[in-house]
């Protein structure tokens, strides 16, 4: 039986890859690494991010370790579909901020023979499934769950602890607003 890896995937077919995890786990860094490899291979790459994510740059995806790639800012997933006609590889960062339509858009792009890479949080600050990422996990051919280091005890962390009193589902922020936590050290909010 032949083992199928990203290096020997059949030509002329598309697929979906999801990189998910908590804050500070290296999701965007891994997305950038994969997209750079595609660029080195001279593949036509387009990168998208949601308008809401303007933490580090308004026109680049940027990791917490300050790696970056130019990106196109969009309001909704249908724009990705319309702009990606000539692309071979589509990168999407912060997928959790998009509407549920992101799943259908990714499926349509993959069905058209494109490689679709999506990075995003799989859980919100309450420890619950976040946005379209869980459904993308169900239809993706490749899934990578990244872990951070718990900022309390040093164990592997897969949860995002909000350290402020805000109770909105989406609060765009980084250091000072969120910490990576393990299962044991994560404290879910007492109110929704």
94 is catalytic: yes
Which among 17, 64, 23, 63 is positioned nearest to 146, based on CA atoms?
23
Measure the CA–CA gap between 149 and 9, rounded to whole angstroms: 33
Q: Torsion over CA of 166, 188, 129 and 48, rounded to 10 degrees?
A: 40
Helix (H) or strand (E) holding 29: helix 27-40
Residue 61: which of 28, 99, 20 has the closest Cα?
28
* List 17, 30, 94, 179, catalytic entry: 94
For residues 73 and 51, the answer to whether their CB atoms sit within 8 Å is yes
The DSSP code for 48 is E
φ, ψ (nearest 5 deg) of residue 56: -105, -30
Instruction: Tell which residue, 77, 186, 173, has the closest CA to residue 133.
Output: 77
Residues annotated as part of the active site: 94
């Amino acid at each position: 039986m032949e083992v199928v890896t990203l290096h020997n995937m059949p030509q002329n077919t598309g697929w979906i890859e999801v990189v998910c995890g908590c804050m500070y786990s290296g999701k965007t860094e891994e997305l950038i690494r994969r997209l750079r490899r595609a660029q080195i291979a001279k593949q036509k790459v387009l990168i998208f991010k949601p308008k809401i994510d303007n933490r580090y740059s308004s026109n680049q995806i940027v990791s917490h370790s300050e790696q970056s790639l130019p990106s196109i800012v969009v309001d909704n997933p249908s724009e990705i579909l319309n702009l990606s006609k000539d692309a071979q590889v589509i990168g999407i960062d912060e997928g959790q901020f998009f509407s549920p339509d992101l799943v259908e858009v990714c499926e349509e792009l993959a069905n058209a023979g494109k490689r679709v890479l999506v990075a995003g949080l799989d859980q919100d600050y309450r420890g619950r499934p976040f946005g379209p990422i869980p459904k993308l996990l169900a239809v993706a051919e490749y899934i990578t769950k990244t872990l951070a280091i718990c900022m309390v005890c040093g164990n592997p962390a897969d949860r995002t602890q909000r350290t402020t009193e805000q109770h909105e589902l989406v609060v765009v922020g980084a250091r000072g607003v969120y910490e990576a936590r393990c299962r044991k050290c994560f404290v879910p909010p007492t109110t929704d």
